[in-house]
Structure 1
Amino acid sequence: MKFSLAPLSLLATAVAFTPAALAQNDATTTFLNPILPGWHSDPSCTRVDDTFFCATSTFISFPGLPVYASKDLVNWKLISHAWTRESQLPGVSWNTTGQQDGMYAPTLRYHDGEFWLICEYLNVGPGIIGVLFRTTDPFDDDAWSDPLLFSPQAIDPDLFWDDDGKVYAATQGIILQELDLETGELSQPPIEIWTGTGGVWPEGPHIYKRDGYYYLLIAEGGTATDHAITIARSENIDGPYEAYEDNPILTNRDTDEYFQTVGHGDLFTDPDGNWWGLCLATRSGPEYKHYPMGREAVLFNVTWDEGEWPVLEPVRGRMEGWPLPPQDRDIPGDGPFNSDPDEYDFTADSGLPKHFVHWRVPAEGIFSTSDSGLEIVPSRNNLTGVLGSNGDDIALTGQRGLSFVGRRQTHTLFDFSVDLSFSPREVGQEAGVTVFLTQVNHIDLGLVLLESGNGSTALHLRMRAEGTGSPPPEETVALPQGWEGKPVRLHITAEDPQTYVLFASSDDGGDIVEVGTASSELVSGGNGSFVGSLLGAYATCNGGGSGTECPEGGVASFQRWRYTPVAQYVSEDESVPA
């Protein structure tokens, strides 16, 4: 279908803003969740003076382990990634097969003038690779060290310095070991200090020493709608631990709340001594069906009186609590604030923005910028690839890196668009935009060269989707006359929390060709239950060529990259303007 319509008018008619759609910090005690919207699993946080720092899981995306900084707990700036160099873990990424393997559940701590980020890379080689990065300058990617490697037996490592100088790592189970920060040696045998309250998968431990007790905060109940935070304490670090009688201290299980899967949290103080916490949550409602942004980071207040158990405020979209620090976006570094729009016009002097990520470490030379834009050399594998091919043609599996780069979807309603210049030579060469969760959960709008009869070929717009639920049929539309040889503007719009609209326009914003719609259920859970959707650009020759090389031609140039936030849902029936 071809029609004339300004792209954002699709969004303007899709949401009715309520009177409650107030500014994020309309009162010093009011804030809205999520405070780190978009895929931000397993947050861990610390504070240095007046600045808060948080890190999150990234699994097989690269660069990995983002570190965010904030002075007001509302505006969070991406300041660095701890894992940015292939040389830090040589060969590991390309030997990773699963869609949710990789960097699981970091803990970020500050001690004696240094930041320490401990994590584990799962399901490659021996199974688990423990990594401990350190830096004195968290605002610089290059300042993060090569990792100290260690060999844990379970996931989700904590890092705790006791008063006597001993350093401990607690992991899933919950087991405790001393960790040598010079050699990576773990004390043996591991000591089981608590098994939780009976929920499955006791994990995500964090230890805090306060008022003569060691408090042990953990997640249990699995990572879906039974997720919860529980706590125990002991006068000795190795136990025995007494469970709090009113566990769980934080959960939304068995409720009809919009925010579900609440769990896996960390606690910290502000400069005034007030306690706060961050944990993960999913904006799915109890039906747990549409949640394309996956597990996001949410903020809550904590009351922790001397000698008492901490009381955690239940997670909601609109929160009331301690006075927030004054709004302040004066944070060093060249990264963006997480909720800001994208407005990039790539030139030869551009680099990839700090918040852009790949699926695994990319092959060298695939991404570059020139005065023609962001140039992507196509990969033989498309975004799905040939999974489970037993290594017969590893270039088709995606393990050698996808020719894809994206940014997190951080808003319920948005418009994402790029201008694409593309002159393919061979049938099957394709470039476009995508909502990407995993290689088996994505929604693509591409410009592709196809056979059109009588031995001729022609460019077409094509929508294809893979994912949870019932993917829509492939939709193909011939490129309108007069569009050949010119940039084509490709759009993905969230029309409502359940629907993406995929369409194209000429680069002057003229007539629009709608190619199709797709449900956000396709990129909710399934094979991507731990991650969240990315919006980005890709290029592929769909299996043509041989080895790791596509046929000549097919390099795509993307200009005018825009991500425009429109609205954020804080409950199933309340949205606030972005």
Structure 2
Amino acid sequence: MTFPGLPVYTSRDLVTWNLASHVWNRESQLPGLSWRTPGQTNGMYAATIRHHEGVYYVVCAYLGLSDKPMGVLFNTTNPLRSSQWSDPIILDLSEIDPDLFWDDDGKTYLTTAGIALQEINLETGQLGEASNIWNGTSNEWPEGPHIYKKDGWYYLLIAEGGTSQKHAVSISRSKEIKGPYTAYERNPILTNRDTTEYFQSVGHADLFKDSNGNWWGLCLAIRSGPSYEYMPMGREAVLFNVTWNTEEWPKLEPIRGRMPPAPLPRLGSPASNKGPNVSGNDRFDFTKVTKIPSSFVHHRVPPQNAFLLSNRGLKVRPSRANLTGDSLSTEAELTGQNGLSLVGRRQSHTLFNFSIDIDFWPRLIGQESGLTVFRTQLEQNESQQKYYDTPYTSTEGLGEDHNQTGSLIAR
């Protein structure tokens, strides 16, 4: 439910990554969509970016509107500018995790969880008849499919085992795009299941080749350790090296806390993207900027006129709902479904220092302001100032994943 959403990052050396743009950056691209989505962890899922004949495409599934996912397909010729990303073409998906593949005969295919394959018209979004091409190695949640063509083989890479601690990556190949696909005898080719590794839930991988001909992969992982208890940043992208064995199967470097040396590309020419660094330190003075930095995000599209920048700093207009919201209310503004007056920076480290200067002038009883480490409305840790007419301590709406401290301002 993060907005702006679908961030695009760029790098010259695969080490330093800068924010380039957001694909979903305008409320008008999907009018009212985030406000019609009640779930806390719904929204854009499993986005894939592809490049073909000068055009960049991002395709993903939007979850939470109904029992079926809604496919969204964006495109641009300039991925460094948010404003250049198109309005989406809506796809009638039956399953999640869509990806695109262009074959040598000019046909374009869409793959989805299941694992299904169907032709797609990129101009209209029209989909052809879907056919099942592989059930995976165990038929347990086969999803996240990606197809690559190399040396006459179609390679089908998928995720299996669910997204928890049994998460894994498996691969098969075929001489024909519609199969039959033969599974690699050493599957899964990437997983941390049944280990004590710091990175858990390793899976949902994608492969690519750099300009020097070296292969790499990205996968999702959680920094939880084997206890699998604390994971405030959720699933993150992890980079790893890929080589090909004599049998023409890919070998994926296991995900560890310290990765072995790999042939990283040279830095080369300076990056054209000067956007915020993913892992760098940040210091923002809102009295000296004319717009909220592009690296800041909101939970859903925020209410209209929620934020005002001036030489006095960033003024935040209160939303009707606090961060927790009233889950029993039928009014969207009170649940927080119509957006919150919340602006935040993505957490990129497990250990960090963070501070903020706030001037708080409440006008109504119950108004509050403060700082939060926020994942969802039900999973957060906040320090607040709240306005009451008499001294009062509140724990209303707090769950086991929600901690609250604060100083109360008496009228």
TM above 0.5: yes
The structure with the largest strand share of the pair is 1
Question: Aligning the two structures, in what range does the TM-score lie when normalised by the shorter sequence?
Answer: over 0.9
Aligned partner of 2:183 among 220, 239, 243: 243
Equivalent of 1:408 in 322, 346, 350: 346
> Alpha-carbon deviation of 1:350?
2.3
Do the aligned residues in 1 keep the contact of 2:386 with 2:408 (CA within 8 Å)?
A: no
Following superposition, the deviation at residue 467 of structure 1 comes to: 4.6
What is the deviation of 1:342? 1.4
Match of residue 22 from structure 2: 81
Aligned residue pairs, count? 411
Asked if 1:301 corresponds to 2:241, the answer is yes
Measured in 2, the distance between the counterparts of 1:475 and 1:151 equals 46
Q: Structure 1 residue 345: deviation in Å?
A: 0.6
- Matched residue SS, 2:249: coil
Higher relative contact order (CA 8 A, sep 6+): 1
Residue in 1 aligned with 2:378? 440
* One-letter amino acid of the counterpart of residue 265, structure 2: P
Q: Distance in 2 between matches of 1:199 and 1:148?
A: 31
Which of 46, 49, 52 is residue 108 of structure 1 equivalent to? Answer: 49
- Tell me, yes or no, if structure 1 residue 162 matches structure 2 residue 100: no
How big is the shift at 1:468? 4.4
Measure how far apart 1:306 and its partner are.
Answer: 6.4
CA distance in 2, matches of 1:341, 1:333: 18
Q: How far off its partner does 1:100 sit?
A: 1.4
Kept in 2: contact 1:158–1:171 (CA 8 A):
yes
Contact kept? 2:324, 2:397, Cα under 8 Å: no
Deviations 1:383-426 (A, max 9, x none): 1112253xx32210111111101111111111111100111122
What is the distance in 2 between the residues matched to 1:461 and 1:415? 27
Q: Shift in Å at residue 126 of structure 1?
A: 7.0
Counterpart of 2:355 in structure 1 is 417
Give 2:88's aligned residue.
147
Give the unaligned 5+ runs of structure 2: none
**Alignment of 1:120 onto 2:61:** yes
State the 1:452 CA deviation.
3.0
Identify the match of residue 381 of structure 1 among 314, 321, 326.
321
Determine helix, strand or coil for the equivalent of 2:99. Answer: coil
Tell me the residue number matched to 1:352: 292
Alignment of 1:20-31 (within 5 A): none
On the 8 A contact 2:386/2:409 being kept in 1, the answer is no
8 A contact 1:229–1:250 mirrored in 2: yes
Residue 335 of structure 1 contacts residue 353 of structure 1 at CA under 8 Å; is this kept in 2?
A: no
For 1:437 and 1:124, locate their aligned partners in 2 and report how far apart those are by CA, in whole Å. Answer: 21
TM-score norm. by structure 2 comes to 0.95
Question: What is the aligned partner in structure 1 of residue 205 from structure 2?
Answer: 265
Structure 1: state its 5+ residue gaps: 1-59, 454-459, 485-578
Q: Does the 8 A contact of 1:199 with 1:222 survive in 2? A: no
Contact 1:140–1:333 (CA under 8 A) maintained in structure 2: no
Give the corresponding residue for 2:35.
94
Letter of the 1:176 partner, please give it.
Answer: L
Alignment partner of 1:291 is 2:200 = no
CA separation of 1:476 and 1:69: change in aligned 2, threshold 3 A: closer
Moved more, 146-155 or 347-356: 347-356
User: Which stretch shifts more, 266-275 or 432-441?
Assistant: 266-275
What amino acid is aligned across from residue 282 of structure 1 in structure 2?
Answer: I
Alignment counterpart, residue 222 of structure 1, candidates 136, 140, 162: 162
Counterpart for residue 31 of structure 1:
none
Asked whether 1:134 is paired with 2:75, we answer yes
The answer on whether the counterparts of 2:18 and 2:274 sit within 8 Å (CA) in structure 1 is: no
2:107 alignment partner AA: K
Deviation for aligned residue 1:292 = 1.1
Q: Is the 8 A contact 1:448 1:462 kept in 2?
A: no
Deviations 1:478-507 (A, max 9, x none): 579xxx9xxxxxxxxxxxxxxxxxxxxxxx
**Pick from 202, 226, 231: which aligns with 2:171?**
231
- Counterpart CA distance in 2 for 1:297 and 1:417 is 26
Q: CA deviation at 1:267?
A: 0.6
Distance 2:263 2:393 in 1: 51
In structure 2, the residue matched to 1:185 is: 126
1:342 is aligned to: 282
Q: How far apart are the structure 1 equivalents of 2:52 and 2:406?
A: 57
1:394 aligns with 2:335: no
